[in-house]
Each structure stands twice: as C-alpha cells, then as structure tokens.
Amino acid sequence: MKKIILSFVAIATGVALMASQIQASSNGRSNLTGGAGQSTCSNCHGSAGAGGSVALTSDIPAGGYTPGTTYHMTATVTYSGRSCFGIDLIALNSSNASTGTITVTDASYTKTVTSASKVNLEQKTPKPTGTFTFDWTAPVAGTGNVTFYFAGLAANNNGTDDGGDYTYTGNKLYAENVGGSSGIEAIQATASVFPNPASAQLTVKSNIQSTAVISVLDMNGRLMQQTSVANAAQFDLNIADLNAGVYFVQVQGAGKTANVRFVKN
C-alpha cells in the first residue's frame, strides 16, 4: 500500500510540474522584441517560417502623432493554419527609453509588464487569432521620433517551446507632428475649461457635440482618468483625486480630438 501511495504522489507531482511548465511557456516574455539590442523569441522557439509575418497598424496620421493624443493600435501575427499566437512589443524614444503610455484593451489575452525599465505589451495567454489590439497615448511635445519594436510568435500549440514555433520581428517609426495645428498647445481653440486653476471640479466646453471619451493625462502623457459623456459640448469633470500639477483634458468623439491644458491646485 505504501508503494502504491508513493507512486501516486510521484505521478501527481509530475503532472503538476508538467502543467506548470506548459503554463509558463504560455506566458509572454519581456524584452524579446529584437530591437534596441534585445534578443527575440527565437531563443526558445524557431526562427521565421516562410509565409508568416508580423505587422503594426494604427490610426496615427501620416503626418505623425500629436503629443498627448491616444491612438488605437493593432499588432497582427499571421501564419496560415495556426491557432496559437503571442506578441511582445515596446515603444522607445531616441534614447531607447520607454515613451508614451500603453493601455491594455484586450485584458483576456494581453498585459503590460515592466522589465529592465521598459514597458512591454505581451500576451497573458496564447490567442487563437493573431490580432492584438491596444491603445497608446503619445508622449509630451518635444519627444521626437518614437519607434515600436515588436516580435510575433506563431506556435504549433504542442505545449513545448520548440523549432516548430515561428518567430517574426518588425519595427515601425512614428514621427512627432510639430507643424501648424498639430500639437496640444496648438489645438486648444477646440476646447476650454474653467475655472483654471481648479481644485475639485472642472467645467469643460468643446466643439464636439456628440458622445465622447474624456481622458485626463499628465505632462508625460500618462492616463490618469477616463470616462465618457453623452454630449461633449459642455460637461463637468471631477478632479478632486488628482495631485496638484499640470494636466490635459482630452475629448475624443465624432472623429475629432480636442485637448486643453489645466492646472490642479
């Protein structure tokens, strides 16, 4: 009886270890984008296989990003016949430091992880399709060019990191739009706030007379608050929980974006 019990314990332990290894291999790994001196997922998986790819698309205009503006982005990994995909992505400035703010919009499959002072978007669990969406809030004016480095994985879903999993890498540069009416300061005419400075409540007026998403960003472009309103022509915003400092209110609706600077006492 003792031998039988010991054998059962050994088998159970082995199964648990195998399960933990499979789970570990399913989680994303940071700093494997292939950019800025980083290695890639091919350390554990195979290199790029013919017929596959990874690409990044967004609604950032051809003229470049507007500081403080939030954009919708999509990283897509393709390989015919596969149903197990992963991603690792970073956004870096010219000094190879993370810049802007990555916001998870697909919490079932993605997460952000800070590693080696860089903020990565990576898979939380393998996704059956290779489409990974997220938002990115552009950094403050004067940041300059921002380069996204990304690695996509098309795995064979056998629970093992092996050469049958294909790794693809890419990068995409977005310039800062510094011309004419592109910057935050330049487009303040489309929105106004009062009182300014304010301590508890801010009244916002804009020329967006429709449903809109309202975001409060700090000077580094980090998202502090976000809500929605039925009509952005005029609304009140509770800022009592913000620390004293300088912020931007961003109003997005009807295909337009308005930004206005305010001071919290």
In this structure, are residues 114 and 53 in contact, taking their beta carbons and an 8 Å threshold?
A: no
Co-location of 63 and 134 in the same domain: yes
Q: Are residues 168 and 208 in the same domain?
A: no
Q: Please, which residues have CB within 8 angstroms of residue 138's CB and are 6 or more apart in sequence? A: 65, 66, 67, 68, 69, 70, 71, 100, 146, 176, 221
Q: What is the CATH number of the domain that holds 36?
A: 2.60.40.4060
Query: What contacts 176, CB < 8 A, 6 or more positions away?
Result: 64, 65, 67, 138, 141, 142, 143, 144, 145, 146
For 34-48, the pLDDT digits (tens) are 555 555 554 545 445
| Residues 194 and 219 occupy one common structural domain | yes
- Domain range holding 154? 30-174
Token reading at 45 = 């998986």
Q: Are residues 151 and 236 in the same domain?
A: no
pLDDT values of the chain reduced to their tens digit, one per residue, 265 residues: 444 443 333 333 333 333 333 333 455 555 555 555 555 554 545 445 557 889 999 888 877 899 999 999 999 999 888 888 999 999 999 899 999 999 999 999 999 999 888 899 999 988 999 999 999 999 998 898 999 999 998 887 765 555 568 888 889 888 888 754 434 433 333 688 899 899 999 999 988 888 888 989 887 778 899 999 999 999 999 999 999 998 988 888 777 777 788 999 9
Q: Which of 110, 144, 174 is the last residue of a domain?
A: 174
Report if residue 13 sits inside a domain: no
Same domain membership, residue 153 and residue 131: yes
Please state the domain count of the chain: 2
* Single-letter code of the amino acid located at 8: F
CB atoms inside a 10 Å sphere around CB 65? 23
- Tell me: do 35 and 97 sit in the same domain: yes
Q: Measure Cα distances from 28 to 24, 109, 125, 149, 228 in Å.
A: 8, 10, 7, 15, 32
Are residue 190 and residue 168 in the same domain, yes or no?
no
